[in-house]
Chains A and B, each alone.
Chain A
């Protein structure tokens, strides 16, 4: 059964590192894992994408273990403007190929 699991919500304070994990047990062999940020009344905004090990860009890091059954988005030194909903997007091979968004993690950053 194709399914992703994310924590519903997380709280943090400005300047802290935040790690959000998405589990995806049946990920398609050749598919990437993609993370998005969404603010109210806006479409999801691309953050980072990876296939395995670690990927880093100017805003985040993505850690993917060797079995690829989960991934962790790491946001270093969050600010108030990082308050948003974060989604993982993963492809699965079930009876057919399916792209599935995670349920989303609502991150609240406090001063």
Chain B
């Protein structure tokens, strides 16, 4: 399965700032996803990012708060904008090769906002 690397693995940020999280895959993939996992909770899909098109956001998530880029088939970024303590969470990217196989996940970015 694909190897997914996320950077940074963790960060502590001041409120009002923005942070961009990178997701790099070792093979070309059709679909990339961004999730949020709050401490002790399950995963919630933020958006789906396909190369060459705008990201598709789930209810409750907007592009101004979570802009996403997908410049090629191996890379995506998620920016958490104008952060507040409520944004403290783990952000994970996952990939799917588009053939109906399962998603595979990176180890996430643990974000704390002071």
The main secondary structure of chain A at its interface with chain B is strand
**Which residues of B73-114 have CB atoms within 8 Å of chain A's CB atoms?**
92, 94, 100-108, 110
Is B63 at the interface (CB under 8 A from chain A)? no
**Cβ of A45 and Cβ of B105 under 8 Å apart?**
yes
Is A87 at the interface (CB under 8 A from chain B)? yes
**Cβ-neighbour of B42 out of A46, A49, A98, A103 (below 8 A):** A103
**Cβ-neighbour of B43 out of A34, A41, A49, A87 (below 8 A):** A87
The CA of A32 and the CA of B45, in the complex, are separated in Å by: 17
Q: Chain B residues near A44 (CB, 8 Å)?
A: 43, 92, 105
**Cβ of B42 and Cβ of A101 under 8 Å apart?**
yes
**Cβ of A41 and Cβ of B44 under 8 Å apart?**
no
**Cβ of A43 and Cβ of B105 under 8 Å apart?**
yes
- The interface size of chain A toward B, counting residues with CB under 8 Å, comes to 19
**Cβ of B42 and Cβ of A87 under 8 Å apart?**
yes
The CA of A77 and the CA of B106, in the complex, are separated in Å by: 28
**Cβ of B58 and Cβ of A98 under 8 Å apart?**
yes
Q: Chain A residues near B1 (CB, 8 Å)?
A: 46
Mark contacts of A67-104 with chain B using CB atoms, 8 A cut-off: 1 yes-contact digit, 0 otherwise.
00000000000000000000101000000001111111
Q: Chain A residues near B108 (CB, 8 Å)?
A: 41-43
**Cβ of B42 and Cβ of A102 under 8 Å apart?**
yes
**Cβ-neighbour of A46 out of B43, B102, B106 (below 8 A):** B102
CB nearest to B10 among chain A residues = A41
**Cβ of B102 and Cβ of A43 under 8 Å apart?**
no
Q: Chain A residues near B107 (CB, 8 Å)?
A: 41-43
Q: Chain B residues near A34 (CB, 8 Å)?
A: 102-103
B interface with A by C-beta (< 8 Å): 1, 4, 42-45, 58, 92, 94, 100-108, 110
Contacts A34-B103, A44-B92 known; 15 new A-B pairs at CB < 8 A:
A41-B107, A42-B107, A43-B105, A43-B106, A46-B104, A87-B42, A87-B43, A98-B58, A99-B45, A100-B45, A101-B42, A101-B43, A101-B44, A102-B42, A104-B42
4 smallest A-B Cβ distances: which pairs? Answer: A43-B105, A101-B43, A43-B107, A101-B42
